[in-house]
Amino acid sequence: MTSFQIRPLFIVAAFLLFLSGCSAPRSVIHSGKVTPKGEFKFGTDYSFNVATQPIGAAADATTDLVQNLKHLDSVRVTDQVNNLARAALAYSLDPATPSWDFYLRYGVVNRVDVGYKYAFGSHVFDAMFQFMGSTGTIKNPGAPGTYGSIGFQYSHKNSALPGKVLWEDIENLLKYEAHRTDILIPLVFSTSFGREEEMGNISYGLAYSRTWINYTFDPSNFFQQQIDRQDLIPVKAVSEKNSYGALGIFANAKIGFKYAYLLPALSIYYQNYGKYKLLADRTTELKGFTFIPSLGLQVNIGKGR
């Protein structure tokens, strides 16, 4: 009988459309023009994180294997068993999953705004500094031209596996836990539609992200065979720290008039996640591309409107 396999995570995500996403927010919807002093922006953004290498890692796990291992008193670690550990780790590093967030931004002073985003599991804080272009408003426009800004974003979260499909069984079987901290540094340039982005803008630029992850595997009934011997010994718990960087490009648009806008966006990253320790002294390496399309709604309010 042919075993049923976990399909690539973009199929799994179809079952999670209304659940919280587990990826750190890396969709860039900023303009090169920051929020004018005294004004607010608030909105929501729906994105989809599609990571090529973790998709492949997840496809190596099978439902039959997980179900069989659940009912064993002792488990011998094989390459198939470590495929489950690799899939769990890959999901924490960069899952293919939808994400829905809400955010608020405020113009603190000319050329600087700050923001808070709740990304259903992640609390995200950021600030942007505008180094190029006008700081005017629609009512008091400045000189036309290109806007430019640079920002810093911070987020932290427990990177639990989703409680559906097979992930919960894998997490319990391997006694797996992970925590991650992320930063994002976007460099944004934009061109206005109308005076001072009255009808929106088109933006583009580069982004660098860095992720620090702590993870553990601590199964109590897993065993490995000693080299040149027949007897089995308990598998030692794995507790590791690692980090990886990613470089990306992005483009987004803001389309509307004065107060309300639609924000389509696309970000593309490449990252070498590095080498990670699995069970029974095995290791794995992961690298690949991540594609993040998104669509949002933004509302602007304040005296400058």
How far is the C-alpha of 204 from the C-alpha of 28, rounded, in Å? 9
The gap from C-alpha 110 to its chain's centroid, in whole angstroms, comes to 30
Residue 3, pLDDT > 70, answer no
Give residue-wise pLDDT tens across range 137-151: 888 888 889 999 999
pLDDT band at 19 (very low <50, low <70, confident <90, very high): very low
Tokens of 91: 């999901």
pLDDT of 130: 97
What are the start-end ranges of the E strands in 159-199? 176-192
Q: Mean per-residue pLDDT for 104-124?
A: 91
Give residue-wise pLDDT tens across range 171-230: 888 999 999 999 999 999 999 999 999 999 999 999 999 999 999 999 988 888 776 666
Mean pLDDT over the full length of the chain: 85
pLDDT band at 74 (very low <50, low <70, confident <90, very high): confident
Q: Determine contact, residues 36/137, Cβ cutoff 8 Å.
A: yes
Q: Which residue has the tokens 């489950």?
A: 84
Considering only CA atoms, which of 178, 244, 185 is closest in space to residue 210?
244
Q: Determine contact, residues 192/147, Cβ cutoff 8 Å.
A: yes
For residue 62, give the DSSP letter.
Answer: B
Residue 168 DSSP SS3: helix
How far is the C-alpha of 26 from the C-alpha of 301, rounded, in Å? 25
Domains plus CATH for the chain? 9-301 (2.40.128)
